[in-house]
Amino acid sequence: EGAGIVDALGAGVTGVGVGDSVAVYGPWGCGLCHACAQDKENYCNRAAELGIFPPGLGAQGALAEYMIVDDVRHLVPLGDLDPVEAVSLTDAGLTPYHAIRSSMAALRPGATAVVIGAGGLGHMGIQLLRALTGVTIIALDIDQDKLRLATEVGAHHVAPSGPDAPAFIRQLTGGDGADAVFDFVGIQATVELARQSIARDGVIQIVGIGGGILPAGFFSIPFGASVRTPYWGSRSELMEVFELARTGKIKVHVERFSLEQAPEAYERLHAGSIRGRAVVVP
């Protein structure tokens, strides 16, 4: 995740000016394949083949005073948004937004959505569900402070994400289960929790890249249920996320750190004590 002020331009660059406030769209693609042509660079078919990697995940990232972005299409104008407050929207906002947008058929008014993990992405997922749908939101986490944050940002019900959680969900839904489950953790325990909690014809979105594996087939998940593994989101979706932030419908809970404090931020992230999203400001 990166955002800041354009300091200099390479030869022939147009469409952006020195002094502009911008965010960096992260999932870089080739720009030429069918997926990229459809505004789905997050699903580029040739990025790995061509050695194209996202910033911070192979390419040089934003934990520095300066960052080189190799194509102007990867820059998204921030306008009047504060780069420090908005930078996390490029992932913590975009990733759940993309997952929710692709689940809208299940998120009808009166439906129930479960959010597993109320941290950096999960607390944004709750806000986005409130902004975009009329569903009842159940948030699950192992940490009581994260559950308090979930309540603060709009969850209707919260509970520990332990062995009793599926029964709690089915009690709240009259035995049916949740119409959509968004797993922002993705370890084996949470994908199994999602499986036990989903309703017939529901959708499970495994957003967290925790290595959990969910079998999909008759009698392993309810009839009609689908399982998806969404990745990041599109550039146009990021622009929509920024508009939601600009109108006050969503807001990232940010903890600021200086560049010198970055190791401390990583230590707290590893300990699970970051409330929302850590932002390093050089």
pLDDT digit string (tens) for 177-196? 999 999 999 999 999 999 99
Confidence of residue 169 (pLDDT cuts 50, 70, 90): very high
Q: Distance between CA 115 and CA 125 in Å, rounded?
A: 7
The predicted pLDDT at position 60 comes to: 87
* Nearest of 77, 68, 66, 62 to residue 21 by alpha carbon: 77
Mean pLDDT of 212-229: 94
Q: What is the pLDDT of residue 280?
A: 95
Taking only the tens place, the pLDDT of each residue in 71-128 is 999 999 999 999 999 999 999 999 999 999 999 999 999 999 999 999 999 999 999 9
**CATH class of the 94-228 domain in this structure:** alpha beta
Mean pLDDT of 9-23: 95
Residue 58: predicted pLDDT: 85
| pLDDT band, residue 152 (cuts 50/70/90) | very high
- Which pTM value belongs to this model? 0.95
The band of 56, judged by pLDDT with boundaries at 50, 70 and 90, is confident
Tell me what the pLDDT averaged over the chain comes to.
96
| Mean pLDDT to the nearest integer, 147-174 | 97
For tokens 């957003």, name the residue: 207
Give the model's confidence band at 57: pLDDT under 50 very low, under 70 low, under 90 confident, else very high.
confident
- Model confidence at 59: pLDDT above 90: no
User: Domain 2-91+234-251 is in which class?
Assistant: alpha beta
Residue 120, pLDDT score: 93
Q: Percent of the chain beyond pLDDT 70?
A: 100
Residue 107: the pLDDT is 98
Reported as a single tens digit per residue, the pLDDT across 247-276 is 999 999 999 999 999 999 999 999 989 999
Domains of the chain by residue range: 2-91+234-251, 94-228
